[in-house]
Each structure stands twice: as structure tokens, then as C-alpha cells.
Amino acid sequence: MLKARVITALVLLPVALLILFVLPEDAFAMSVGLIVLVGAWEWIRLSGLVNRVLTWMLLALFAGILVWSYRLPPVYVPMLLGIG
């Protein structure tokens, strides 16, 4: 089990560094958004929701919130963080 985790870390480390330091801002935001949506998918599965339609609706809602928050002017970011 530890061997698989070490191999995974060695594979993902260059990918993470590439995303962090090489990609432009929009591509970085899209990759972080994709990671957040994968986490949302796992959260939905852990919550026990089995209805596929509701699962996809929740993922679409999360994606919409991500796009909306990315498109906000920077002056609204402190208010958005205060709401969260």
C-alpha cells in the first residue's frame, strides 16, 4: 500500500509543479476547478446520494458556482469569503 502511494506521489509531483508554475492563470484556474469538482463528486458519493440525476445536478451547481466566483471582480472576493 505504501509503495503505491509513493509511486503515485512521484508521478503527481511533476504534474502539480507544472500546473503551479508553468500554466497561465486561466488554465491554472480550470485545473484547480477540475480538482474541486472531483472532490465534490467524492463528497456526493460519501454522502450516500444514489440518484444519478441529483448527483449530476449538484455537480452542475458546483461548477456554476465555481465559474460565477471566477468571473467576479476582485473587489467582491472578500465578501464572497465572508459568506463562505
The owner of cell 465559474 is: 67
Q: What is the grid cell recorded at 63?
A: 461548477
How high is the pLDDT of residue 76? 86
Q: Per-residue pLDDT averaged across 16-42, rounded? A: 93
Model confidence at 84: pLDDT above 70: no
Task: Record the pTM.
Answer: 0.75
Residues 20 and 28: beta-carbon distance below 8 Å:
yes
| Inter-residue contact 80 to 66 (CB < 8 Å) | no
